[in-house]
Every structure is written in structure tokens, then in C-alpha cells.
Structure 1
Amino acid sequence: MDKPAVSLFFGAGAEVGYGLPSGGQFALDLFRIPVDQDKTDFKDQLKALDNTSAYVSKWLPDDYLKKRIHVFGKSDYEGIIASSLEYRKDDILAYLEQLDQHVLRLLRAWDVSEDHIRRIFRDETSLELGQILYGQAVKLNSRLAESVGLFNSVFFSAWLKLLELHPEQTQLQHGVRAILELLVGSCGQRLVAKLNEEVFESAPDKLSVFDDLSGIFSLNYHSVGQTGMDIVLGEPARPVTEENTPVEIMTALCRTVLEDIYSRTLDYQALVDSHFRYLYNPKAHWARFTRIAIFLRTVRRYISSSDAHLMERLAAGPGYYHDLFGLSSLADITAVGTTNYNGFARELVHQELPSIPVYYLNGCVEEYYDPYCNLILEQPTAEELASYPRLLVPLIFTQSGIKPLTSITMSRRYVELYDRFEQSDMIAIIGYGFNGDDGHINGLFRSLAEAGKRLSIFHYGNESLSVLKSEYQTKLRLSSSDNLDIFTVDSSRNVAGEPWWQALLEKYQYMQPALAPRT
């Protein structure tokens, strides 16, 4: 029997096992990292330009060397919160409704055990954890929500009880307030959205004057969510042990939960999108041009510094990229695509499988972009970068609705990968969440599924396969889930006790009679 042709696609989750941060943690870290070095490097690049060239004279503003270099900072928090509450409000509310489940999940890998927390809470309050709940004592305005499960949460109630006993504990108070701000902000945003959609419950279709009054309500984000942003982007969390006081431990737990909420729901797409367009016109708004240019440099430096630290571990493995060597002995690997930004996929795959093409759909730290000419430089040398006559920025698409760029290089990359996927017997998707800011990639997979290609999605966890199938069908906006095969994979990259790639091949053998012959 001929070897099956398999294509693979990797998201951020595929690299967590190598020690790289998850997508949510990556987002938080980007706004924590100091940017002084990036500002200096950018200024040096400006000074190196030939100020007599037509490029500088016509494209850059007058006295560009004397202008201030701007960066994203605390003043941009409000925009991030507004975007997060607008686009992730349902995710935030769902998290708060299931707060206890998330706390227990975090405690499995935390510095202090659940048993110790139960013990210190009992010693501090003379109450068992969960013995007191605030569901009847605290009621949210019914216009915001009919019922709120947060106040029946065991752990949130524990934090409230400790605040009753220790009102002077300002850090715990700030953590609790931050969670309440997210609750009220999300409910408020949902109410505002509903009001704007239904200002008039009914009106004649032929009278457009009623439509002119839609969208008139808005939410003031001046204070909503700012407390939480100050906490998670401020001073690093201090480690705690069982030697700390009960209040210190519970305060640290509250901060850990708050950081987890933000890492899962932080949305800075609107912030990036509102600045990205100025890469093409620095004269129009120099501050926004420099903010996005510095931001992309910071992203590259953050990823590159993580890469250098992890190279030894990466070389040894194990991980999903190393698993491809075993897969290649039983299957023909057609192509590898990835949304990740580092060069690990290309480097590790090409060590043993140099003929397999690797496609970076969200850019890469080894690539640069010339916004003036809409040109991509793939893996330029240090000498080429130093002598380049125009401004360059790293080609890295973080959360953004503007991607992909329309350069010929990137357009070909998408088309070539799609064609290779289409020629494969099976398409394995690993560690990719099908998030909304990757709609261009989701559309690629949707087209494949609608054309009859099977998508094998490997999901970390042990949820119900039928529930997951429905969720991925919704994310891909498919009318049917018939062409979705879901595999639940554990921390050892196993599916039901066997390596994920073996499970994939067994599924291929099972499905082979139904597969169309390759062309």
C-alpha cells in the first residue's frame, strides 16, 4: 500500500511542551517587556538612512530625526480593555461563571496545594472553604444580568470573607475589585450592545430615520478593567510558599486567577489595527507609525530571546516537531504550515527532513518587511540588513485583522500551502485554536473542508468529542462537521495511550476506502 500523504499545521499550543509561553501569556508579556533597547535600535536605523534620497524626502516627515519616538504604554490600556470587553465579553463571563473550576485547574500546578489552602482558610476564619457563599448577599442589577454565578463561587466568597476580616488588605481588595470590574464591564458591554441593536423594538422598514438612531449608546472604559491591567502588567508576581500567611497566599491566588483571565481574554487587535495602517504613511501620524514599528521590534526581540534560551532543550526534544521523524517513516509529509513566529519548525524539520517545505503564515523572526515597497525579505543576512536603504520592520503578525499583507511573497505562500493541503490525504492541525483574529487561516481550512478534505484536529484535554466537534464546526463556520475528526491529546502527546501520529495513521487506514485518490 502506498504511503499516505499527510500535511500538518501547527499553532502556539504545539510549542508549549518545548517551554514556550502560550498565546495568552505571550500577549501579556509583550506589554510588560521594557522597550528602551528597541527605541535605540530604531533611532539608529533612522540615522543610517540617506537623508538626501527621494525616499526620505517624500515618505518621512520633516525633521524626522528630531521627532519623539512613541511607544505603547499605560495610556493605551483603555483601548485594550475596550477591545477585550467588546470582543471577548462572553468569554470573560463564561470564565467567571466557572471560576471555581478554573481555580482548581490552576492549583494543580501552583506553588501551594489545594489541601493547604483549605486548611489555612479554616484556621483563619473558623469556617470550611465553601461553608459561606455570597450568592444571596450580593445581587447585580437585574438590567445587567438576571443571575451571576460568581457570587456563589467558593473561592470568590473566600476572598470576600477575608476582606471582611481584614479590610486593611489593599492588595486583596484590588484583586477582588479587578474581577468585579471585569464582571460589570462585560455585563455592561452586553447590555449596551443589546440596546444599540434594539433601540426600537419595531419600526417601518421604509423609514430609515429609525436606523439613524442605532449605535448611540457607549460604555465609559475610563475605570473599567484598569485595576486588573495595573496588577497583571505591573510588578511581577511574588512566589508564595506554605510559609506565607493565609492572607498572602489567598491574595497571590487571586492575582494568579486574574492573570489567567487576562491571558485568555486579552484582545489588543483594535490597538494594533488602528496603528498598522500608518506603517505605510508615517507623515500622516508619526506617533502611531513609531508605536507600531517599535512594537514589532519588541515582539521580535522577545521571541528571539526566548529562542536563544530554549535552543538546547529544543535540540533534544521531545516535542511535536521531533515526532515528525517517526511519522515520516510511515507517511509522506507534504508540507508543514505554522502560525508561530520563531524558526523552530523550519530548523528542526529540516535537520532530518530538508525537502519538506515549511510555511510561516503569520510571519517569522527571520523575515523582515519593507512597508514602502510592500516587500518581504526572507532570511536576510546581517550584512543585507545593515546596508538596506529603507526602513524595515520585523514581519510578525500578532493579533490583527489586517493580515495577511498583500505582497506577492505572502500571497504565494498561502496559495502554495493550500494546494499542498488539497493534494494530501489527511490534514493534521495541532495546537491551533481557530481564533477570530486568524480568520484568514480559518477561511483556508473552511474551504478545504467544504471541498471534501478531512481535517484532523488535535485538541489538548479530555472533553467530549461530540462537544468539541460542535465547537470546531462553529469556529470554522461549517454547515456540517462531517469532515472534522477530533483527537484529544494529553501532555505526553498521546491519544488514548499511543503517539498522536500513530492515531492519525490508524484513522487514515480506517478511512482509506472513502478517500478520493490523489492527483
Structure 2
Amino acid sequence: MDIFRTSNEEDKEIFRKKIHSIDRMSQLATQWLPDNYANKRLNVFGKGEFEGLIASSLENRRQNILNYLNNFDENVLVLLSDWTVTDNIINSKFTEETEEQIGQKRYSQTIRLNEKLATQVPLFDSAYFSAFLRLLQIHPQDRYLKRIIRAILELLVGAFGQNLVSQLNEELFTQAPDEISVFDDLTGIFSLNYQGVGQTGMEIIIEEQPIEIDDTTEGITIFKELGRSILEDIYCQAMDYQSLIDSHFRYLYNPKAHWAKFSRIAIFLHTVQRYIIENVNIDAQRLKDGPGYYHDLIDLQEEFNLIAVGTTNYNNFVKQVIKGTSIEQTPVYHLNGSVNDYYDPYKNEILTIPSAIEEEGRILVPFMFTQSGVKPLTSVEMSRKYVELYDHFIDSDIISVIGYGFNSDDGHINGLFRSLVEKENKKLYIFHYKDSNETNTQIERYYQEKLRLNSTSNIKVFLMDKQRNVNDEIWFNSLVKELVMS
């Protein structure tokens, strides 16, 4: 969400200069760009896209939203584990405001949602959401607190409402003759009006600045900031940003069709690149000396010959770490692009740190591969990266995976691993951060589902702690033992 809060004026100006530098007599200008392109207004993402974003999220990720709200207290406690003030401070501040403990009074018996939407609503039995409602009872005129509660309720009602609409559309006639097609023609006629759903929350997290708080801040202010942080957490986890990119990315190749969408996605990619460069901060000394997973690559050379590294990170930290070491020449493949890569949509070509001569007369956009941007995969440069990495994996004795979640958005990478497992009979050694009581078997089945594999036979999971250890030893020692056993 921070990217949408970031000012894009600087990026708009950069893109404007690129447009104005194009030779108006070139093929690019006369055949690809629209008439009078140099004087056309440049558009960026704003409030106008919020409604479509909310609609897509409720359609495609409504279960994520409901899961978050149904487990509201658990999610809030996870948020508080790394928050500005502790849950103990929040509890004491709440007691100062209400003379009650958080969770002492709940609303599950006094608030009921229409049973056509849902018969059970765990949110109203939540200790923390009930705390927000109690504070609003005490401070009924507090507009900010009211907006936060309304935003959460909008998401709740919207998600349940979309469930009902989808059910109606899919099961409008529970029984009808197959040979009479008119019944099929009536499916999908219901829709939800998203104009009043989710907009409040988007406005809060985009427009409202975080409130600085500490242990001395009054309780009502702490809860306002907590509410804003909860909304941001929900939107970060459940918003379908892929749909927003999907609806614009195609126009990166056809600016004549829709100049506004073309300029939005082009400028957005510049903003993403700048945000990553400026905000992904890391201590320079720690980057140099470690400890960290990238530094472990240097140490494991005593036991292994490192053939290749694939990464989905946009930054270039891994190359910075291994520079000047014995593995400096190890190829590193940025599978989703990087802050140093640029893309020419006109020629479907990828360039790494292009020179001024290479940039001249072209429209280049930063290449941070969006999950929806399939077409760049067809470029020779990107196809070669995947093929080369795949061949390196085939030649390897061990394929180790750390910090990659096998999410559905990265289907292009998941397919690579699936092929290695099922077609090449390679084994994946997955290092999984242990934060629950799940067994290795349960986690292996989890990754089997993620990768859509027929079995778990070629998956080996190691449970790892925050110190990068497996059974009190550095993680790659587990791989040494695996080689010995095999």
C-alpha cells in the first residue's frame, strides 16, 4: 500500500521527458504511439481505480478477507508482536478509557447480521473488535474511529454479500431440463454495487498518515492507529492488486488503444522501481559482513559447488554480497526482473542497465515482472534466463529452496519446479520457517498442494528457526547429511 501513497510526480516527469525525446518521424512515433502523443495528459493510479480494485478483491479474494475477520484477534496479536506498543500497554490504555478489560464485554449476542448473508459472524465475538465498538460507544462523536469501524464492517458485509451473489448466480435454478437453454441464459444476472463497499478503508490507508504513538499516548489515539494498521494489514493481504495490473498491463503494448491506461502502468512501474530503491534499506555493514542467507552461500562452498542462484527479489543484494568472493562468477537469475532491468514493450526486449545510446529514441519502463505480465516471458532475454536456470537445476545434485512461498501468482516459476520434480525426477529441499506446531508431513502436503504435485515423494522439508538453524545447526549442514545418506 505504501507504493500507492508514494508521490508519483517525479516519475511522471521522468516519463514525460521520455515521451518528448522520441523522434516524431520515427516508426515508434508514427506507427505505435497515438496522434499528438507529446501533448496528451499523463495519467496515474488514483481514487478512480479503487472501486475496481475492491470489486475484484471481493470477487476473487473474499475468502481471504473473511478468514482475516473470522480470526480477528489472532491476526491482531500477530500484528502487535512487531508493533509500536505492546498488547499489555494497549490493554492498560483500554482499561483507563473504559474501566474494563479487553474482551470483558463482547457483541456476539447484541449484533446479528441478516441470516441470508451469514448465520455465524465470529467478528462480533472478537475481543479486539468489541473493544473498538466499546470505545465508539464512549466516544460517539469521534469521526476517525467511526470510519475505521465502518471500513471493517464494509469489508465484512461486502465479502458475505459477494458470497450470496455468487451463490445466486451459480445456483439460480437448482434443477432445470438440460435441453432447455433459457435457464442457462439467466445465470450471472445479479451483481453487487461496490460503490459503498471498501472505499472507506482505502481512503483511510491511502490518505491518512500514520499517527506517531508511544507508551504515553492516550488510549483512544493508540486505538485509532491500531485500527489504521489493521486495515492496512487486511488490504495488504487480501487486495487483488493483480487485477489492477491485469486491466492495464495489456495497454503497455498498445498505447493507441487507451493512452490513459498506458501511461498509468508505465509511470506506476517507475514508481515501484523508485520505491524499492529508496525504501528497501539495509545496514551497509551487515550487508557486507552478514550474517544472512546470502553470506551462507559463501560458507557452503566448503561442502558444495554452487552452480546457480535463482531469486524472486527485485533488489541486487545477492550480487553485492558475493562480489569479490570465490563465488562471484556464480550466475544469479532474477526471475521476476530487478531494479536494474528495463523493458521495451515496443520491441518486447529486456535490457540490463541500458546505456544512454541504448535508451535513445525508445520508451523503456522498469522491469519488475508483475504476475500478470506474461508477455515479457516471450522475450528472448527472459526465456533464456528460465531455460538456463532450469538446465542448471537438472545438472545439480541438490535443489534448495529458501524463502519462496510457491504462491499462485508465481505460476511461471512454480511450473519450473513442478517440471523438475515430475519430469526430471529431481528432489526439492525446502527450508520452512517453523512458526507453528505443524508436522513435516503436514508441511510437505502443503507444498504438494502449492505445486500441484501428484505426491510428496520428491519433497523434503526442513524446519528452520530465526537463526537459520535446523536442529541447532546452520541450515546447509542438513544438506550435507542428506548427501551422505543418499
Normalising by structure 2, we get a TM-score of 0.94
Alignment-mate amino acid for residue 245 of structure 2: V
| Higher RCO (Cα < 8 Å, 6 or more apart) | 1
In 1: Cα distance, 2:397 partner to 2:181 partner: 52
Distance verdict in 2 for CA 1:143–1:76, change over 3 Å: same
Task: Kindly report which structure 2 residues correspond to 1:71-220, keeping only aligned pairs within 5 A, or say none.
Answer: 71-220=44-193
The answer for the alignment partner of 1:344 in structure 2 is 317
Alignment-mate amino acid for residue 502 of structure 1: N
The answer for the alignment partner of 2:330 in structure 1 is 356
Contact 1:60 1:283 in 2 (8 A): yes
The answer for the alignment partner of 2:342 in structure 1 is 368
Q: Could you tell me how far 1:195 is from its partner in structure 2?
A: 2.0
Q: Could you tell me how far 1:208 is from its partner in structure 2?
A: 3.4
Distance verdict in 2 for CA 1:424–1:430, change over 3 Å: same
Gaps in structure 2 of 5+ consecutive residues:
none
In 2: Cα distance, 1:239 partner to 1:399 partner: 35
Q: Could you tell me how far 1:37 is from its partner in structure 2?
A: 0.6
The answer for the alignment partner of 2:229 in structure 1 is 256
The answer for the alignment partner of 2:37 in structure 1 is 64
Residue among 225, 232, 253 paired with 2:198: 225
- Residue 287 of structure 2 corresponds to residue 314 of structure 1: yes
Task: Kindly report which structure 2 residues correspond to 1:374-385, keeping only aligned pairs within 5 A, or say none.
Answer: 374-381=348-355, 383-385=356-358
Q: Could you tell me how far 1:207 is from its partner in structure 2?
A: 3.5
Distance verdict in 2 for CA 1:243–1:385, change over 3 Å: farther
- Residue 401 of structure 2 corresponds to residue 426 of structure 1: no
Q: Could you tell me how far 1:360 is from its partner in structure 2?
A: 1.2
Question: Comparing 149-158 with 255-264, which one deviates more in the overlay?
Answer: 255-264
In 1: Cα distance, 2:385 partner to 2:107 partner: 55
The answer for the alignment partner of 1:475 in structure 2 is 450
Task: Kindly report which structure 2 residues correspond to 1:268-279, keeping only aligned pairs within 5 A, or say none.
Answer: 268-279=241-252
The answer for the alignment partner of 2:208 in structure 1 is 235
Residue among 489, 494, 499 paired with 2:464: 489
For residues 83-106 of structure 1, give each alpha carbon's deviation from its aligned partner in whole angstroms, at most 9, with x where no partner exists: 222222111111111111122222
Q: Could you tell me how far 1:60 is from its partner in structure 2?
A: 1.0
- For residue 37 of structure 2, give the secondary structure of its aligned residue in structure 1: coil
Contact 2:430 2:461 in 1 (8 A): yes
- Residue 242 of structure 2 corresponds to residue 246 of structure 1: no
In 1: Cα distance, 2:227 partner to 2:82 partner: 15
Distance verdict in 2 for CA 1:258–1:474, change over 3 Å: same
Question: Comparing 244-253 with 29-38, which one deviates more in the overlay?
Answer: 244-253
Q: Could you tell me how far 1:309 is from its partner in structure 2?
A: 6.5
For residues 203-253 of structure 1, give each alpha carbon's deviation from its aligned partner in whole angstroms, at most 9, with x where no partner exists: 333443332222222222112111111111123211211211111112222
For residues 383-404 of structure 1, give each alpha carbon's deviation from its aligned partner in whole angstroms, at most 9, with x where no partner exists: 3355x22211111113426365
Distance verdict in 2 for CA 1:98–1:394, change over 3 Å: same
- Residue 380 of structure 2 corresponds to residue 405 of structure 1: no
For residues 459-478 of structure 1, give each alpha carbon's deviation from its aligned partner in whole angstroms, at most 9, with x where no partner exists: 23322133332322222122
Gaps in structure 1 of 5+ consecutive residues:
1-27, 513-519
The answer for the alignment partner of 2:422 in structure 1 is 450
In 2: Cα distance, 1:403 partner to 1:422 partner: 26
The answer for the alignment partner of 2:364 in structure 1 is 392
Distance verdict in 2 for CA 1:197–1:401, change over 3 Å: farther
Residue among 415, 428, 436 paired with 2:387: 415
Distance verdict in 2 for CA 1:50–1:105, change over 3 Å: same
Contact 1:322 1:349 in 2 (8 A): yes
Normalising by structure 1, we get a TM-score of 0.88
Question: Comparing 284-293 with 196-205, which one deviates more in the overlay?
Answer: 196-205
Alignment-mate amino acid for residue 239 of structure 1: E
Distance verdict in 2 for CA 1:283–1:338, change over 3 Å: same
In 1: Cα distance, 2:191 partner to 2:433 partner: 38
- Residue 16 of structure 2 corresponds to residue 29 of structure 1: no
Distance verdict in 2 for CA 1:135–1:286, change over 3 Å: same
Q: Could you tell me how far 1:112 is from its partner in structure 2?
A: 1.7
For residues 306-354 of structure 1, give each alpha carbon's deviation from its aligned partner in whole angstroms, at most 9, with x where no partner exists: 3576555422332211111112221122211111112222332344212
Contact 1:462 1:489 in 2 (8 A): no
In 1: Cα distance, 2:462 partner to 2:234 partner: 26
The answer for the alignment partner of 1:3 in structure 2 is none
Question: Comparing 190-199 with 305-314, which one deviates more in the overlay?
Answer: 305-314
- Residue 422 of structure 2 corresponds to residue 462 of structure 1: no
In 2: Cα distance, 1:507 partner to 1:187 partner: 48
Question: Comparing 286-295 with 167-176, which one deviates more in the overlay?
Answer: 167-176
Contact 2:343 2:350 in 1 (8 A): yes
Between the two proteins, what is the percent identity of the paired residues? 52
Alignment-mate amino acid for residue 390 of structure 1: R
- For residue 454 of structure 2, give the secondary structure of its aligned residue in structure 1: coil
Contact 1:429 1:457 in 2 (8 A): yes
Question: Comparing 199-208 with 39-48, which one deviates more in the overlay?
Answer: 199-208
Question: Comparing 291-300 with 344-353, which one deviates more in the overlay?
Answer: 344-353
In 1: Cα distance, 2:208 partner to 2:343 partner: 34
Distance verdict in 2 for CA 1:479–1:146, change over 3 Å: farther
Distance verdict in 2 for CA 1:203–1:425, change over 3 Å: farther
- For residue 134 of structure 1, give the secondary structure of its aligned residue in structure 2: coil
Superposition RMSD on alpha carbons, in Å? 1.9
Distance verdict in 2 for CA 1:328–1:95, change over 3 Å: same
Residue among 295, 298, 321 paired with 2:271: 298
In 2: Cα distance, 1:497 partner to 1:80 partner: 45
- For residue 155 of structure 1, give the secondary structure of its aligned residue in structure 2: helix
